[in-house]
Structure 1
């Protein structure tokens, strides 16, 4: 149903308490959404045990959410045209609340996976539209501050997820990791409706691109399943992974051909004609993939080979949000006056420094040594999201911002999934290689090996136990070397991303301002 209001009439920014409460509601919905992508990770053993399945089967609780979410995010632009920004956002929150409640009530793993997939799908429009509505709430000069407030929720939530999920699972019960969404979601929906109901965007009836949607489901679903199951099934040695790769590749090519010729495409691929969009979106996706892969790797290494508990590993990761929260408002206030490419470059340089510092770790590293780079990483994160979103959305007209935000967030989510799979696979492969090299030196002619074995023998261990002990030390050392390799390679890749950012064109007055102008 078309709106009576003429197209593209700019709405005035919100003022005073309305703007404050609008920001709180939008940020709370985003926080809830991002938190749910990681909160179940540490609860998997408890969920699997309660529902009588293996932990491997339990990983589908995470996979199903990720696959459905990745499919739904790029549909945001199309759905916004049909239903309007505000209606779609509020509906997305309320459906998320209902599916969260159903996840908590799930009597078996099959129903939990189905409800998680549904939860991921209905959550799709939430993050892109929270960006769009937030930018429309602030005057052009304060667009950077709006993005700073938004980005804080996306920075803190992935760190809070495992900490909160672990605490709830240990002290209450795992269904409550889903039930906590209910009060937060209801409040966010009510406040959003109260403040934004008179600020609905224009709608128009566009035909549903069934073929485009089907191809999107096929290739994205196949790609996500391939990434999630690859390590478990030994990648391309498995016929199942090869089939998924072929489906993803062929489906993607058919999807491109169809969407580029369709009159009403389900995903607006013409955005890639804009240099600022593709440079910003690709840089964000690759950088987020590197960042997320290392976010997964560090606690894995700490828990498996450094003797840390889940809580201690969480504490080592937690300081990442401190400087990010302090510096994000500064970046937000100044991004309109400073070339966003300079801020993004600074972010990548600090990320490279942090990862280089981590590549210097050894098995004797204490808690403080491990925590210092995490603290410094907060600086990189503060200068990461805001300038890159600024570049990506700069110069777009209001009707294209939801589609652009949806597509760039889809690339970011996919980048995160690929980063996790590639990082963990390379980590294990490098560890196997280092283990083989280290074992070659454990021979009868090696003075270090014989003295270590004789020392263990004098401690009361027989030859078998002594060799097992030495093998354990070799395994720990091989994974330490593999961890250093990944950190070092990631640091180098962050440096290679800097020229990509400089391919974008600077916008007069700052891209965030332009994005904001388009959004309201």
Structure 2
């Protein structure tokens, strides 16, 4: 009996099925937490007495912490064992979820979200590794299919669940609901997965590389998060942080390219297919995530939507993706991945152009339609792009490439959130100024006065209308820029050579 067959025989079919459900549930919880807070930002900001801009630190802190921790996953698994790392990560995730819900200040909430991200980082790749470990190749596809569905369901359920909880209970419960799931997954992992624990090895870790990674990403994220409030490079502190981020990045690149055991293997960038595919991924994922951030805040702040309904509008895209995911997986074997990616990205770009014409009197149905139609293209972008990037590197580099791919995708989310909100705010100010200059307030005030409004009421009415229209113009501006980026990405992907057909995507996470 081979080693692999011995591992498969350690678990009965019933135990394997239960383990599969637990691993899929753990993955769903982590993916859910990336988007569940998006629609709750206005609630959290109002409760903690902070601006919605500051509230977005709740999103970016989680994403950045997760991105930093992902490259360490392979080392942690070798050093402590896959099951042990998975279990401890779930314990930490549950503890930090509790602290998030108990947070009375923004500082504590952001610190707890960073802890959540650090613990959540290994859960997704570890759950995937364990699925591959417990299922033989002939039935592994079905298990991985269920796991992949949770990756798509997370963004769909997150805004709806977060919106419903914020509207009907309290924002604290978007974090408290993780506790029973974390406890269940920890107990189940100990009961079901201990027989398939991996061997432990003493492997070196690139401490200097890890320090440099945390340093330059931390400086960059502080610049992106507080730059809006400090007039960007007019503030010496922002300039200093930007310089430190740039220097830290350069030193990090040089160190990692010369280190024998790098924390992030940058050598895989020598493959043109991987580089162009990853660049396409970062552009597309950042542009796609822009709508997930902007739409819920706009609908709640300006359009009078509840968090629940704002979440439904946001989630429609991921819901539609569930229908086409199986089709995209089947077409992978017969259609050039670059064609699928290019067409899908261009499709999303067209939907972004469509949304760039939204107005302040738009109906729910008019918003829902492009959101839902956009979702059909998502699987034709995500699934083939994984194959394209991993198919462009050597088989021995697949694990490193997959870790780097996940790192870049997560960082693209955090950076896009900061940049989009900055552009949205700047565009609002410009639009407000232009409209104020074009208005004839005296004539408008007289008209409103004839309708029975006092002078103060008339001025407030004019101010409210200008503010509402400035916000929707800024939303349209963000979507227009997103469309341009997506169309560029649809072209860039063709720089990649045609991927190999026998790609092992099991290392992707």
Judge same fold: TM > 0.5, yes or no. yes
What 5-or-longer segments of structure 1 have no aligned partner? Answer: none
Aligned residues: 506
- State yes or no: 1:317 paired with 2:314: yes
Q: TM-score scaled to structure 2, two decimals? A: 0.87
Check 1:405–1:139 CA distance in 2 against 1; reply closer, same or farther (3 A cut).
Answer: same
| Distance in 2, Cα, partners of 1:192 & 1:118 | 21
Q: CA deviation at 1:101?
A: 3.4
| Distance in 2, Cα, partners of 1:243 & 1:195 | 51
- Out of 483, 498, 502, which is 2:475 matched to? 483
Alignment of 1:462-473 (within 5 A): 462-473=454-465
1:156-188 residue CA offsets vs partner (Å, 9 max, x unmatched)? 323433432343344444443333222222333
- State yes or no: 1:506 paired with 2:498: yes
Contact 1:151–1:385 (CA<8 Å) still a contact in 2?
Answer: no
- State yes or no: 1:74 paired with 2:71: yes
| Distance in 2, Cα, partners of 1:134 & 1:283 | 29
| Distance in 1, Cα, partners of 2:8 & 2:390 | 20
- State yes or no: 1:208 paired with 2:205: yes
| Distance in 2, Cα, partners of 1:194 & 1:318 | 35
- Out of 367, 384, 388, which is 1:387 matched to? 384
- State yes or no: 1:326 paired with 2:316: no
Q: CA deviation at 1:467?
A: 3.9
1:61-86 residue CA offsets vs partner (Å, 9 max, x unmatched)? 44543332222122223323323444
| Distance in 1, Cα, partners of 2:343 & 2:132 | 24
Q: Which moved more, 1:245-254 or 1:29-38?
A: 29-38
| Distance in 2, Cα, partners of 1:341 & 1:159 | 26
- Out of 410, 413, 417, which is 1:416 matched to? 413
Contact 1:46–1:169 (CA<8 Å) still a contact in 2?
Answer: yes
1:183 corresponds to:
180
**SS of the counterpart of 1:308?**
coil
Q: CA deviation at 1:106?
A: 5.3
| Distance in 2, Cα, partners of 1:141 & 1:9 | 12
Alignment of 1:206-245 (within 5 A): 206-245=203-242
- State yes or no: 1:93 paired with 2:90: yes
Check 1:509–1:49 CA distance in 2 against 1; reply closer, same or farther (3 A cut).
Answer: closer
- State yes or no: 1:495 paired with 2:492: no
| Distance in 1, Cα, partners of 2:498 & 2:24 | 28
2:357 corresponds to:
360
2:340 corresponds to:
343
**SS of the counterpart of 2:305?**
coil
Contact 2:166–2:307 (CA<8 Å) still a contact in 1?
Answer: no
1:460-496 residue CA offsets vs partner (Å, 9 max, x unmatched)? 2244543442333233223322222221221121111
2:449 corresponds to:
457
1:275 corresponds to:
272
2:375 corresponds to:
378
Contact 1:34–1:157 (CA<8 Å) still a contact in 2?
Answer: yes
| Distance in 1, Cα, partners of 2:259 & 2:53 | 40
RMSD: 3.4
What 5-or-longer segments of structure 2 have no aligned partner? Answer: none
Q: CA deviation at 1:141?
A: 8.2
Q: CA deviation at 1:30?
A: 1.7
1:515 corresponds to:
505
Q: TM-score scaled to structure 1, two decimals? A: 0.85
1:204-226 residue CA offsets vs partner (Å, 9 max, x unmatched)? 32222221111111111111222
2:423 corresponds to:
426
| Distance in 1, Cα, partners of 2:193 & 2:280 | 32
1:344-373 residue CA offsets vs partner (Å, 9 max, x unmatched)? 122212201211111122222211111101
**SS of the counterpart of 2:248?**
helix
**SS of the counterpart of 1:265?**
coil
Q: Which moved more, 1:493-502 or 1:275-284?
A: 275-284
Check 1:307–1:111 CA distance in 2 against 1; reply closer, same or farther (3 A cut).
Answer: closer
| Distance in 2, Cα, partners of 1:462 & 1:414 | 51
Contact 1:155–1:381 (CA<8 Å) still a contact in 2?
Answer: no
Contact 1:169–1:177 (CA<8 Å) still a contact in 2?
Answer: yes
